[in-house]
Amino acid sequence: MEATPNPVKVLEVCRVAPPPSSPDSAVPTSLPLIFFDLFWVRFPPVQRIFFFETSHSTTTFLDTVLPKLKHSLSLTLQHYLVLAGNLTWPPDSYKPIIQYVEGDDAVSLTIAESKADFYHLSSYSFREVKEIHHFLPQFLSSDTRAPLMTLQITLFPNKGFSISYATHHAALDGKIVALFLHSWASICRRGEDSTLTPEETPFYDRSLIKDPGDHERTYVNFLLNLNGPNNKSLLIWDLKPPTDIMLGTFQLTRANIENIKKRVKTQWQEKQKTEPAIHVSSFTIASAYVWVCLVKAKKISAGKVHLGFSVDCRARLEPPIPSTYFGNCVTGRLVDADSNDLIGEDGVATAVKAICEAIEGLKDGAVQEVQLSKMLSIDRNRLFTIGGSPRFELYNTDFGWGRPRKVEMTSIDKSGAFSLSDCRDGNGGLEIGIVLKKHETEAFASLFASGLEVH
């Protein structure tokens, strides 16, 4: 990547720790990884950036806004002690653990200021990924440790500020990141009151999750053998985003989604002669629609293409576990289709059916086969994946200065995924984050728009 002048001036790199704990705290300081977590040990962190529009001057921001954000972060961390710790793999441990050591550990928070164009950065048009990278926190791992969370807050004087994070997916999945952010925002809004309601309180009991298939051993062996026998390295993969890629945001309104759904059902009846009796969610419609547009825009040659995505299993386990279970509780689904079928006239209908069937396959409650090696063996140009979920309701993250102007999942630049989230307008629509090479952006934008005009 060519160097661009850095538009960000770092004011301070601080470390924010939870307040000293009470001795009878029910919040654990150490957690073993389980098989759901082990999948993610070497993956790059998940990163998002939130832009908030406010008119604070630098002085007001540093004197009043920043202290509130820092103090509430510390108060929130007392419910999430491990987030201030590290992922490690002690020599005498069969598997990696996450651990917080009081007095030693804290979350790294970078405070910065920038004169870059706030409105451009937080817009919906295609922007260069490298422009946005300056506003994301560093996340440095080594063979022996990796942080669980790092943060950056950047002020754009008189325009707004951004809060960005990087989190280690081996420690927590998107649902818990969202829970953490909502709690942090709510404690920040309320001031001193740092209590959480039961619906907000993370649940730490890992013994409820059974591993009937001995998936843990499979993952541990996979990790140990990645770089020579018995190598306990925790270094995250340095997946470099392709150069010249751009990040854009698209919206599907409620009405768009309903229209696509109607068209899909008609095509199932008329062309495919079957109408599967399955629930078709907005998630499925949006995923199918975007997948088809991407396959067309990238001019993928004939042959198999794949769509991988995660499904939250908290409510699907037997018996179900609380929705606030801290950690990972997602299973991967992989859908295969022929690119020629997807670019055909009823491509979206074909994609919807395939995605629905993959989700239906989970009905039996069992956690599915480990698909890691299959995922890793697929040609990355033919694999599409989905990050995020509208259920995280990230636009409801209000620290006291209003809803975000923009929420962006930036880590899709490395995985080539597209992201899904709720909409800024909160009207039941969806926002979709897309990364594409520069020369593919126009084709995608026009395919996306023209597909919505068909009735």
Ligand X SMILES: *[C@@H]1O[C@H](CO)[C@@H](O)[C@H](O)[C@H]1NC(C)=O
Residues in the site for ligand X, rule: CB under 6 A? 86, 99, 101, 104-105, 143, 145, 227-228, 231, 233, 235
- Our answer to whether residue 422 is catalytic in this structure is no
**Cβ(168)–Cβ(87) below 8 Å:** yes
Q: Which is nearer to ligand X, 12 or 104 (CB)?
A: 104
We find the least distance from the C-beta atom of residue 196 to ligand X, in angstroms, to be: 25
Nearest residue to ligand X, using CB? 227
Output DSSP code: residue 228: B
- SS3 state at 319: coil
CB of 149 to ligand X, least distance (A): 12
- Check: CB of residue 113 under 8 Å from CB of residue 157: yes
Min separation Cβ 80 and ligand X, Å: 16
Residue 57: name the closest of 113, 9, 10, 135 by CA: 113
Q: Which entry of 168, 169, 182, 215 is annotated as an active-site residue? A: 169
- Min separation Cβ 41 and ligand X, Å: 11
Determine how β-strand 107-114 pairs with β-strand 149-156. parallel
How many H-runs (helices) and E-runs (strands) does the chain carry?
Answer: 14, 17
Measured CA to CA, the distance from residue 88 to residue 397 in angstroms comes to 31
**444 token code pair:** 């995608």
Nearer to ligand X, 100 or 283 (CB): 100
169 is catalytic: yes
What are the structure tokens assigned to 262, written together? 């109607």
Output 101 or 255, the one with its CB closest to ligand X: 101
Q: At what angle do helices 438-453 and 282-297 cross, to 10 degrees?
A: 130
In terms of residues, how long is the chain?
A: 455
Specify the residue, 29 or 123, whose C-beta has the smaller distance to ligand X: 29
Q: Least distance from C-beta 235 to ligand X, angstroms? A: 4
Backbone angles phi, psi at 163, to 5 degrees: -120, 125
Cα–Cα dist 184/169, whole Å: 19
Q: Which CB, 105 or 413, lies closer to ligand X?
A: 105
Give me the active site residues, please. 169, 398
